[in-house]
Amino acid sequence: MNLVLARIDDRFIHGQVTVGWGQRLQPDLILLANDEIAADPWQARVYAATVPPQVTVSVRGLGAAAAALRDPAAALPGHERAILLTGSPADMHALVAFGVALDRVNVGGMHFQAGKLEMLPGLYVDRDDLANFRTLLRRGVRLAVQAVPGGREVLVDDGLLAAVEARL
């Protein structure tokens, strides 16, 4: 199985993912990795209801998602092209810490919450997010902020993180 996109997006499955990235990348699987949603079958069904019929949705907690990604042939048989979604940098970092090999992560939706500062237009972070971005960078993960294919891509690097941290 080819992981065609690993994305951080606090809306999880929505138009930018299913239509924007989906039409470009033609996934047959969306793996949503989130402990809260995985623990609530109703929430999982709501998210799964919004995808095109050719796409399967698998909602798993972080540990189970990592295990599946380490051995997709056994855990996710029959799928060729997968999109991985987490709701935060912390969750993406957790997957990497659980042994998932990622060389690049797309940073999509991180919306405003109290205590967060705008890092790039429409993208809000706090110190915890910055720390997780830094750890991902140190692990060799390329971080690119890009809402949709064809949109502006901005690479996240230590300089950008330091500049944001100075404003926090």
Partner 1 sequence: MTPAAARRAGRMIMIQGLVLTHGAIGAELVKVVELILGPVAGLRAETNQGRSAKQTAEVVTGWLEQLAPADGGLIFIDDYGGSCASASRLGGAESARVPVLSGVNLTMLLAFVTWREELARAELVQRIIDQGRLAVTVVGAAR
Question: What does the binding site for partner 1 look like in residue numbers (CB under 8 A)?
Answer: 10-15, 18-19, 43, 46-47, 49-52, 87, 109, 111-113, 122
Closer to partner 1 by CB, 111 or 139: give it.
111
Q: Of the two residues 36 and 71, which places its CB atom closer to partner 1 in the complex?
A: 36
Least distance in angstroms from the C-beta of 121 to partner 1? 11
Q: In one letter, which amino acid is 38?
A: A
Task: For the CB of residue 137, give the shortest distance to partner 1 in the complex, in Å.
Answer: 24
User: In the block, which residue shows the tokens 């972080």?
Assistant: 62
Distance of closest approach, residue 86 Cβ to partner 1, in angstroms: 13
- 14 a catalytic residue: yes
Catalytic residue among 14, 79, 93, 111, which? Answer: 14
| Positions marked active-site | 14
